[in-house]
């Protein structure tokens, strides 16, 4: 028996626990401690798709429409359209409910230029806005397989992350996970089932066919799926935080 082989070979040293347990930068959106609860509530307002105010509404075709959201200021002036109901009038861009279209810099300015100074904003058509705008930057499909799942967080998927636009597109469910904790979510639309949004001490139910807007995305937002059919699409800042709550 080779005694030297048994006793002379040193076992490789393991890294110190404090270093070994620190996640890499690309893993920090996985199962990490949730962000602490903020003293101020996120300010969640819930509206049916038919109640979206004109200044946040885009329409095209008969009965088709979506929720309009500008990207983060200072990041190119991009804007996003979260589709509620798709129609057949727009042959250039085929959409389905839950799809998100993101246009590059200049589109938001073009939209503002279509409204007379001092006039109340009104809903505009997709054709009116796209005519003077740059090409489409990104088109995410609600049920697309692109994007990335969150390790350890069931029912959460990043469909797109665009730092140049200051925006990210997330899908919640199915199936539901435990309670989620977020920072940076600006709005989400529910297409089936229901979600519960914790707005401070108030719990607001968001059912299919409704949009929830978050007045202060810097506040911690807690969400829970109301059933295993819950499915929603969210618009968030590109540097959002997500964890189990």
User: What is the DSSP annotation of 79-133?
Assistant: EEEEEEE--SS-SSS---TT-EEEE-TTHHHHHHHTSPTTPPP--EEHHHHHTTS
Residue 129 or 210, more confident: 210
**185-195 mean pLDDT:** 94
Mean pLDDT of the chain: 74
**50-54 mean pLDDT:** 84
Query: Can you list the domains of the chain with their CATH numbers?
Result: 33-47+146-244 (2.60.120.10), 53-140 (no CATH)
> Which range in 3-12, 17-26, 63-72, 215-224 is most confidently predicted, on average pLDDT?
215-224
**155 pLDDT exceeds 80?**
yes
Confidence band of 244 (pLDDT split at 50, 70, 90): confident
Secondary structure of residue 237 in the 3-state scheme: strand
Strand partners, 213: 45, 187
**16 pLDDT exceeds 90?**
no
Query: Measured between alpha carbons, how far is 204 from 44 in angstroms, rounded to an integer?
Result: 8
Q: What is the pLDDT of residue 142?
A: 83
**8-24 mean pLDDT:** 42
Q: What is the pLDDT of residue 27?
A: 40
| Locus of tokens 């969400």 | 223
**185-210 mean pLDDT:** 94
The string of pLDDT tens digits covering residues 66-121 is 887 877 655 556 778 898 987 654 445 677 899 998 877 554 444 443 333 333 34
Helix (H) or strand (E) holding 17: helix 17-20
Report DSSP state, residue 7.
Answer: H
Query: Measured between alpha carbons, how far is 58 from 64 in angstroms, rounded to an integer?
Result: 8
pTM for the structure as a whole: 0.75
Q: What is the pLDDT of residue 183?
A: 95
Residues 55 and 225: beta-carbon distance below 8 Å: no
Out of 31-35, 143-147, 216-220, which region has the weakest mean confidence (pLDDT)?
143-147
Q: By CB neighbour count within 10 A (0-12 exposed, 13-18 middle, 19+ buried), where does 172 fall?
A: buried
| Locus of tokens 């800042």 | 237
Secondary structure of residue 26 in the 3-state scheme: helix
**146 pLDDT exceeds 60?**
yes
Handedness of CA 145, 148, 151, 155 (dihedral sign): negative
Percent of the chain with pLDDT over 70: 64
Q: What does the longest C-alpha to C-alpha distance in the chain come to? A: 93
Query: Measured between alpha carbons, how far is 184 from 186 in angstroms, rounded to an integer?
Result: 6
Residue 175 or 115, more confident: 175
Confidence band of 57 (pLDDT split at 50, 70, 90): confident
């Amino acid at each position: 028996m080779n005694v030297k082989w048994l006793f002379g070979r040193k076992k490789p040293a393991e890294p110190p626990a404090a270093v070994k347990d620190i996640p890499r930068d690309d893993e920090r959106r996985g199962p990490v401690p949730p962000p602490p609860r903020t003293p101020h509530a996120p300010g969640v307002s819930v509206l049916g798709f038919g109640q979206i105010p004109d200044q946040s509404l885009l329409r095209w075709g008969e009965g088709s429409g979506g929720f309009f959201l500008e990207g983060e200021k200072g990041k190119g002036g991009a804007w996003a359209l979260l589709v509620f109901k798709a129609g057949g009038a727009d042959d250039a861009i085929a959409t389905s409910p839950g799809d998100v279209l993101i246009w590059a810099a200049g589109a938001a300015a073009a939209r503002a230029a279509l409204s007379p100074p001092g006039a109340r904003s009104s809903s505009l058509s997709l054709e009116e806005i796209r005519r003077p705008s740059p090409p489409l930057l990104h088109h995410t499909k609600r049920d697309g397989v692109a994007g990335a799942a969150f390790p350890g967080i069931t029912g959460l998927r990043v469909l797109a992350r665009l730092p140049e636009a200051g925006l990210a597109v997330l899908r919640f469910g199915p199936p539901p996970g435990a309670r989620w904790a977020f920072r940076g979510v600006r709005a989400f639309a529910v297409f089936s089932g229901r979600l519960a949004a914790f707005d401070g001490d108030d719990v607001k139910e968001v059912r299919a066919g409704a949009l929830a807007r978050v007045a202060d995305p810097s506040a911690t937002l807690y969400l829970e799926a109301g059933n295993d059919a819950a499915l929603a699409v969210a618009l968030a800042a590109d540097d959002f935080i997500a964890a189990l709550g």
